[in-house]
């Protein structure tokens, strides 16, 4: 019998009571993979759905081999694979921000590849692929990482593979490790990387002239990698939004208990407002801003602040000097005047990168302002230093503004305070700011994310064994048992302006104003502003009544008649 001190020491390094128990949680699999025991790989066949975007001709010219091979046709599972494939060497990597369930993709891959093939983990994301930093994944690894959160088993990064030298490095890694396939687990930018890699590695990598297969897996807590009914949601969104919803529910409970504070909460989700919308649907706070609505209605910063201040004043007149506001992380970029200024700023930064980098920090705003259009320069000058400094901060390697660093919630508090005073000086307004972001990305996956990702791993592995390349794995029919399918990556590509240049990218799926989730939110939000109707969804459950719950927005948008998913 061990002492309590020994028990505590033994729980270190991912062996808490919870972690040990959740590893044993059984995962449902789609019927296509076989009902019980060791999941069996499936083969794939064409459906009658062909994907294409407005830039299809350009895509065909840039991705001739993968488009010719797939015809941009969606694949669906076609029963158990008949061929026994042996000796495949497959590498898997995480790319971009962490999202709960990533480890289970690796577990699904390992299980479906079985003992006849070898799975390698790439350390530290695309950067590790360039360096050739790989190690073999064992069954013992799978038993240890299954159902655990985070990406820490492999690590991740945001390197974009774009230069000729980088492509040559990837080829070297493939040759050195005799790879047959690479699985990229990532968001829109990373799956764009996967599409580019699939084309570049299509032929001529191995001695016999053959290529290396590349398969993408849809990850991002932002929920902005969606393809209608083919991809209802990326993995990680459910876990992150449930964690944020629990925290926002707790804050709501506090506001109506202490009766004296407003809380302005910025929620992660770089561009799209899916996270903010989902948390709003789960908790029903007084105010939720949706960036896409701001853009559609062409709202100015002043008009947004005006709306916020009016709710604060109206609630105060009813004796409610408290409330919660949710703001999406990407809000700033969706306010038309800010968006125009940021686009101008991005071009200036891209074209004067060396001069800008050589300047002292305090000289940077003046330098940039001198190159901006006059209206953009005066907008920049009107913003507080804490916003300007972040707008000038380094872009990530995909050219994205690092919106998680911009304290939008503080800007809104400062501006709302001034406006409330103008509207009614007698209204008290004490506010706290919060940023809920990193807390949500690495929690232990909900059962939905755990099962979804395990099945995505089984699908990605099956696609490799079936000889496919240039596809993204997906599971459709999430409330009807689940169907493994594959989306041709090139069929998702569009042209977008990045770093001052046109590039092929997978377009982010934004919140649509006419979506059922948004319409439901719009139909209820005025009532939520007027009176306290908030709900506390509580912690995510691994055993219990909410275990099988889907995100509310996903259920509404897929026309489901139940909030519960069913895989298997
Ligand atoms: P991905 O698109 O790579 O999944 O990352 C999403 C995200 O979590 C955003 O919500 C956030 O803006 C960003 O990552 C933060 O990135 P970083 O980890 O580099 O600070």
Domains of the chain, earliest start first: 4-236+445-506 (3.40.50.450), 247-327+406-437+511-568 (3.40.50.460), 330-400 (1.10.10.480)
Residue nearest to atom 10 of ligand 1 (CA): 269
* Contact (Cβ atoms closer than 8 angstroms) between residue 110 and residue 137: yes
3-state helix, strand, coil in the chain (%, to 5): 45, 15, 40
Beta strands in 287-339 (DSSP E): 287-288, 323-328
Closest CA to 147 of 17, 11, 13, 24: 24
Mutate to test the pocket of ligand 1, among 124, 234, 236, 270 (most ligand atoms within 8 A of CB): 270
Helical residues (DSSP H) of 402-446, grouped into ranges: 408-423, 438-441
CA atoms of 563 and 568, how far apart (whole Å) = 16
CA atoms of 126 and 138, how far apart (whole Å) = 21
CA atoms of 221 and 275, how far apart (whole Å) = 8
Distance 154 CA to ligand 1 centre (A): 17
Nearest ligand 1 atom to alpha carbon 438: 8
Distance 151 CA to ligand 1 centre (A): 13
- What is the residue-wise DSSP string for 514-549? TSHHHHHHHHHHHHHHHS-------S--SSSTTTTB
pLDDT value, residue 402:
83
CA atoms of 329 and 404, how far apart (whole Å) = 6
Distance 97 CA to ligand 1 centre (A): 5
Q: Tokens 């496919």, residue?
A: 468
Nearest ligand 1 atom to alpha carbon 404: 12
Local confidence pLDDT in tens for the 568 residues of the chain: 789 999 999 999 999 999 999 999 999 999 999 976 789 999 999 999 999 888 888 999 999 999 999 999 999 999 999 888 999 999 999 999 999 999 999 999 999 999 999 999 999 999 999 999 999 999 999 999 999 999 999 999 999 898 999 999 999 999 999 999 999 999 999 999 999 999 999 999 999 999 999 999 999 999 999 999 999 999 999 999 999 999 999 999 999 999 999 999 999 998 999 999 999 999 999 999 999 999 999 999 999 999 999 999 999 999 999 999 999 999 999 999 999 999 899 889 889 989 999 999 999 999 999 999 999 999 999 999 999 999 998 887 666 788 878 899 999 999 999 999 999 999 999 999 999 999 999 999 999 999 999 999 999 999 999 999 999 999 999 999 999 999 999 999 998 877 667 889 999 999 999 999 999 999 999 999 999 999 999 999 998 999 999 999 999 999 998 899 999 9
CA atoms of 225 and 237, how far apart (whole Å) = 10
Distance 504 CA to ligand 1 centre (A): 20
- Count Cα neighbours of 471 within 13 Å in the Cβ-side half-sphere: 32
Distance 234 CA to ligand 1 centre (A): 13
Within 6 A (CB) of ligand 1 lie 96-97, 99, 158, 187, 220-222, 268-270, 329, 403-404, 441
Nearest ligand 1 atom to alpha carbon 441: 8
Catalytic residue among 180, 188, 189, 222: 222
Residue nearest to atom 14 of ligand 1 (CA): 97
* 222 belongs to the catalytic site: yes
Other Cβ atoms less than 10 A from the Cβ of 115: the count is 9
* Contact (Cβ atoms closer than 8 angstroms) between residue 189 and residue 160: yes
Mutate to test the pocket of ligand 1, among 93, 94, 95, 96 (most ligand atoms within 8 A of CB): 96
Residue nearest to atom 6 of ligand 1 (CA): 97
Residue nearest to atom 11 of ligand 1 (CA): 270
* Contact (Cβ atoms closer than 8 angstroms) between residue 225 and residue 198: no
Nearest ligand 1 atom to alpha carbon 221: 4
Distance 209 CA to ligand 1 centre (A): 38
Other Cβ atoms less than 10 A from the Cβ of 274: the count is 33
């Amino acid at each position: 019998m061990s002492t309590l001190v020994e028990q505590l020491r033994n729980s270190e390094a991912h062996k808490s009571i919870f972690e040990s128990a959740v590893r044993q949680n059984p995962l449902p699999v789609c019927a296509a993979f076989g009902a019980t025991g060791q999941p069996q790989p499936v083969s794939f066949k064409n459906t009658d759905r062909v994907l294409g975007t407005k830039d299809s001709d350009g895509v065909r010219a840039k991705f001739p081999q993968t488009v010719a091979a797939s015809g941009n046709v969606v694949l669906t599972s076609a029963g158990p694979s008949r061929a026994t494939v042996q000796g495949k060497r497959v590498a898997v990597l995480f790319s971009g921000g962490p999202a709960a369930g990533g480890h289970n993709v690796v577990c699904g891959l390992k299980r479906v590849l079985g003992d006849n093939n070898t799975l390698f983990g790439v350390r530290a994301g695309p950067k590790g692929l360039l360096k050739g930093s790989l190690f073999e994944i064992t069954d013992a690894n799978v038993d240890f990482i299954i159902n655990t959160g985070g990406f820490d088993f492999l690590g991740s990064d945001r390197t974009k593979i774009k230069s000729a030298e980088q492509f040559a490095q990837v080829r070297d890694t493939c040759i050195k490790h005799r790879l047959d396939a690479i699985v990229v687990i990532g968001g829109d930018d990373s799956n764009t990387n996967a599409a580019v890699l699939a084309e570049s590695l299509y032929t001529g990598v191995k001695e016999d002239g053959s290529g290396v297969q590349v398969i993408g897996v849809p990850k991002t807590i932002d929920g902005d990698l969606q393809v209608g009914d083919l991809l209802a949601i990326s993995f990680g969104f459910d876990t992150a939004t449930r964690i944020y919803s629990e925290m926002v529910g707790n804050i709501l409970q506090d506001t109506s208990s202490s009766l004296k504070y407003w809380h302005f909460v910025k929620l992660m989700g770089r561009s799209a407002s899916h996270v903010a919308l989902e948390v709003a649907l789960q908790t029903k706070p007084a105010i939720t801003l949706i960036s896409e609505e701001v853009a559609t209605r062409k709202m100015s910063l002043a008009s947004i602040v005006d709306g916020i201040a009016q709710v604060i004043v109206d609630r105060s007149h009813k004796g409610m000097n408290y409330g919660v506001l949710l703001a999406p992380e990407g809000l700033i970029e969706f306010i038309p005047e800010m968006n125009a200024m940021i686009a101008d700023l991005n071009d200036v930064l891209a074209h004067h990168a060396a001069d800008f980098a050589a300047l002292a920090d305090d000289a940077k705003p003046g330098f940039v302002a001198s190159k901006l259009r006059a209206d953009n320069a005066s907008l920049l000058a009107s913003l507080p230093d804490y916003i300007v400094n972040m707008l000038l901060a380094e872009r990530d390697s995909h050219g994205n503004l690092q919106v998680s660093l911009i304290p939008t919630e503080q800007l809104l508090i400062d501006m709302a305070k001034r406006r409330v005073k103008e509207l009614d000086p007698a209204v008290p307004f004490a506010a706290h700011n919060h940023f809920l972001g990193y807390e949500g990305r690495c929690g232990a996956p909900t059962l939905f994310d755990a099962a979804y990702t395990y099945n995505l791993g089984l699908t990605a592995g099956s696609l490799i064994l079936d000889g496919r390349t240039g596809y993204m794995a997906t599971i459709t029919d999430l409330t009807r048992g689940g169907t493994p399918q594959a989306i041709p990556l090139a069929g998702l590509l569009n042209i977008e302006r990045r770093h001052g240049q046109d590039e092929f990218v997978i377009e982010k799926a934004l919140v649509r104003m006419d979506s059922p989730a948004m319409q439901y939110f719009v139909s209820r939000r005025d009532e939520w502003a007027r009176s306290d109707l908030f709900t506390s969804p509580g912690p995510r459950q691994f055993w219990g009544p909410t275990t099988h719950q889907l995100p509310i927005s996903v259920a509404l948008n897929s026309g489901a008649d139940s909030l519960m998913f069913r895989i298997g």
